[in-house]
Amino acid sequence: MTARFRCGAAAIIGRSNVGKSTLLNALVEQKISITSSKQQTTQCQLRGIRTGADYQIVFVDTPGWQQRPRGGMNQAMNREVRHALDYVDVVLFTFDATTWRDEDDAILELLRHGATPLVGIANKIDLIKDKSRLLPLLEMVAGKASFQSILPISAKQSRYLDDVIAAIKVLLPERDLLYPEEQVTDQAERFMVAEIIREKVFRYLADELPYRTSVVVDRFAVGKDLTEIDATIRVARESQKGIVIGSGGAMIKRIGVSARSDIERLLQCRVNLRTWVKVGAPGPVTGDALESHGTE
């Protein structure tokens, strides 16, 4: 370890659907945060870790900021964002390069009074054909807060991410590793499995289910050649249970097959995934569950 090794945390903060989770996955070069077109998919802080020859960056993916939070869930998500600001070394203010909104101004109002160094991330430049449109936006954003730099990138295409790493590195303190070099997240495997299944639910049923839909991993048994996983998808109403199951079990089978593929890549082993659907708040599974059709 050299004296110049830098290590610290960088929070990815922005409104919903600006690509924060996609950016986290691209920066750590592994899928650890679920992505969806549905707002409020990320409901808690997720950490991804990237380690280089002379640095380690702990990225904190936060929920999308709710300008007018209604209900306990939205208020809790905003608390997650504020909490992240208390301990990180750098803030990555991420915004959609194609559309500036009032919510972006509200977040900057929260960030610009803080002492934490601020780096602007103009994401989704792959959607802009005429790149000359970027300059007026970047100049406008630069006038709103004291940024260390503002970087146009495409998280989806992993373009210009080296610029992001370089901008963060110089702002981190000199200290030793916080995590082992090979570690890419601090989340437990059970949590990651539940998030993968939840992503598939939102991917196929985003317009039909509320964001409060959750997944509980009931059993996680690692064997020599096969990992056995039982999971329950929790929905709010009986009618939503039928939507998740689908006609003849077709939708729950689609969710299970797609999730199992990602879980096997995550765990690097064969997986037998069984999924159930139940009505009720997240918590321990008791009583009879409705087994999915053909997801084993």
pLDDT at residue 27 tops 50: yes
State pLDDT tens for residues 168-186.
999 999 999 888 888 887 6
Answer for the pair 56, 50: CB distance below 8 angstroms, yes or no.
yes
Report the percent of the chain where pLDDT is more than 70: 79
Average pLDDT, the chain: 81
Domain covering 189-291, topology:
GMP Synthetase; Chain A, domain 3 (3.30.300)
The structural architecture, per CATH, of the domain 6-169 is 3-Layer(aba) Sandwich (3.40)
pLDDT at residue 2 tops 70: no
Residue carrying the six token digits 């087994």 = 291
**Phi then psi for 293, rounded to 5 degrees?**
-95, 110
**Which of residues 245 and 283 earns the better pLDDT score?**
245
**Which of residues 150 and 296 earns the better pLDDT score?**
150
Domain boundaries, the chain: 6-169, 189-291
**Which of residues 168 and 65 earns the better pLDDT score?**
168
Percentages of the chain per state (helix, strand, coil), in multiples of 5: 35, 25, 40
**Which of residues 144 and 110 earns the better pLDDT score?**
144
Of the candidate ranges 145-149, 281-285, 287-291, the one whose mean pLDDT is the lowest: 287-291
Q: Looking at residue 184, what DSSP letter applies?
A: -
State pLDDT tens for residues 123-138.
999 999 998 989 999 9
Closest by CA to 36, choosing from 207, 173, 233, 256, is 207
Considering 64-73, 210-219, 229-238, 287-296, the range whose residues carry the highest mean pLDDT is 229-238
